[in-house]
Structure 1
Amino acid sequence: MNIIGPFMAGCRALAASLPNRCLLCHQQVAAPGSGICLTCLQTCLYRTPVCLGCGRKLTILARYCGGCLTTRPLPVIAPASYHSLLGPLIPRIKYQAQFAAMPPLVTALVQQVNALHAAEVIPIPQVLIPVPLHPRRLRQRGFNQAWLIARMLGQQLQLPVADGVLQRVVATLPQTGMDGRARRRNLRGAFRVMDKFPYQRIALVDDVVTTGTTVDEIARTLAPWTPDIQVWCLARAEAPGV
């Protein structure tokens, strides 16, 4: 990870040079490099409680809707839907190294986590674990967006980031266009725990959760060590009809 220091310095320099314009409405924003104005951000965030299993709207704040109570899927905490106006901004972080949207979305995620914890819907984890990239993909891209998000979350929530205990040992194919069965086959055996794992409560961190196949495979890999796994992301893509 010796590229991270210079990379983060480059991120700070880039943020400082960004025009003070909202990426969505192009109006001026108050803080340099903040990327999204408060009005646009509030418009795109969830306005009602949502089920942490499927993303369905709820009338009261709870962990799961009635349907998810029976299956209890991995809880996914996100401040917004990927199908909102924020959705197109997230791939720019990963594929174009455009980071201006990341700070306000991370702050919105922190607020969502704090609200759910205050309502006793979720516990605060002991550690944050970014979804890892295969070393080959990391060299090609130059950074892991999940690690950058986890680092910002850790700073705001005073939580450690465990980097290296989970590694991606299979260079999987890109999953765009794959159905659920193909995604599961593609990811089978892709992750490995590389060190002692003393944590009972963890939060996996990623930029976006779509089908959930990646985090489900990681949870299966970590199941012998930890009984309490959450997923934190900047946005989630709910299933059609939700």
Structure 2
Amino acid sequence: MAQYTQRPMRFPENILQAICERFLPTACIVCQQFQDYSICNNCLGALRDDGLFNYQCCYQCGITLQPEEISQQHCAPCQISEPYFDETYCLDRYTGILQEPLHEFKYQKRIAFGHALSSTWNALFSMQLENIDASYLLPVPLSIQKLSQRGFNQSWEIAKRIDCRKYIQKSPYILQRHHYPEHQAGSSIENRHQSIRGMFYIQEKYIEKIQHKTVIVFDDVMTSGATLNEIARVLKDNGVSRVINWVLLRAARPIERAQHV
């Protein structure tokens, strides 16, 4: 089985993490076994062998393809109603082994789990995406109210530690979100698309900078795709030429109705 390879660390941001990994045992975020790294080789190997990125998925929305869709690499829903975004790359399924670690990170505020999820992405996925040419990597934003309540943006905490080409600028400021007081969990696809309309905007001082650029948008979970589609619409309405989604976990078809999504 392939071994977990450490990535070069940025100094001094990760110096404490490096010291802890050198002198203290670490519990794997998946199986909770103590070993050297935040995800053990067994769990990393399971993801490497069976992660969603190994499967035939729609190049546009990242959903697993049905047999009759494989020849076109394009799912029927995207053919019927083409999204604004151009490509989607997903690490694994929402029901996979990273679901619980993600929930621990988002809802129990275990920030170390966010670092571990970034490391998992880098170990499994970064080399596959290293040739993607883009100018910006933006996280799906939280509203100011939601950010104050949670204390951090989970998508940004993961995205800022993802390995990518040095000229790709990462920023949590360009894309902004108005406050939306209701949860989308359990909503129909149609309601999700309607309710998210007009929720996102670009900071005016950045509009000229993103003109004619390719932008990567990172999200921790993609369910219906309504949020990412609305973001892509706003980006393209403001002059972005191409939008690519990078997603940690992708819900299956039909959309999984889970408490936290």
Deviation at 1:146, TM superposition (A): 1.2
Q: Which of the residues 217, 221, 241 maps onto 1:208?
A: 221
Deviation at 1:179, TM superposition (A): 1.4
Please tell me whether the aligned partners of residues 93 and 102 of structure 1 are also in contact (alpha carbons under 8 angstroms). Answer: no
Name stretches of at least 5 consecutive residues in structure 2 with no aligned partner. Answer: 1-12, 256-261
Q: Which of the residues 218, 236, 240 maps onto 1:223?
A: 236
Change (3 A) 1:90 1:111: farther
Residue 63 (structure 2) aligns with:
55
Distance in structure 1 (CA, Å) of the matches to 2:242 and 2:181? 26
Change (3 A) 1:57 1:189: closer
Residue 117 (structure 2) aligns with:
102
Please tell me whether the aligned partners of residues 54 and 239 of structure 1 are also in contact (alpha carbons under 8 angstroms). Answer: no
What SS does the corresponding residue of 2:220 show, helix, strand or coil? Answer: strand
Residue 125 (structure 1) aligns with:
134
Deviation at 1:205, TM superposition (A): 0.9
TM-score by length of 2: 0.72
Deviation at 1:26, TM superposition (A): 3.0
Name stretches of at least 5 consecutive residues in structure 1 with no aligned partner. Answer: 1-8, 118-122
Change (3 A) 1:187 1:72: closer
What pairs up with 1:151-170 in 2 under 5 angstroms? 151-153=160-162, 156-158=164-166, 159-170=168-179
Residue 120 (structure 1) aligns with:
none
Please tell me whether the aligned partners of residues 128 and 160 of structure 1 are also in contact (alpha carbons under 8 angstroms). Answer: yes
Distance in structure 2 (CA, Å) of the matches to 1:51 and 1:29? 37
Deviation at 1:231, TM superposition (A): 0.8
Deviation at 1:144, TM superposition (A): 0.6
- 1:22 maps to a residue whose letter is C
- Identical-residue share of aligned pairs (%): 27
Please tell me whether the aligned partners of residues 57 and 65 of structure 2 are also in contact (alpha carbons under 8 angstroms). Answer: yes
Q: Which of the residues 63, 85, 89 maps onto 2:101?
A: 89
Distance in structure 2 (CA, Å) of the matches to 1:62 and 1:167? 38
Distance in structure 1 (CA, Å) of the matches to 2:90 and 2:72? 13
1:149 lines up with 2:164 in the alignment = no
Deviation at 1:130, TM superposition (A): 0.9
Please tell me whether the aligned partners of residues 209 and 237 of structure 1 are also in contact (alpha carbons under 8 angstroms). Answer: yes
Q: Deviations over 1:11-38 (max 9, x none)?
A: x67x94985222333333332xx2x212
Q: Which of the residues 30, 35, 57 maps onto 1:29?
A: 35
- 2:106 maps to a residue whose letter is K
Change (3 A) 1:223 1:96: same
- 1:81 maps to a residue whose letter is R
Please tell me whether the aligned partners of residues 58 and 74 of structure 2 are also in contact (alpha carbons under 8 angstroms). Answer: yes
Distance in structure 2 (CA, Å) of the matches to 1:109 and 1:54? 14
> What root-mean-square deviation, in Å, do the aligned CA atoms of Structure 1 and Structure 2 show?
3.2
Q: Deviations over 1:31-63 (max 9, x none)?
A: 2xx2x212212313233343332422599x999
TM-score by length of 1: 0.77
Deviation at 1:133, TM superposition (A): 0.6
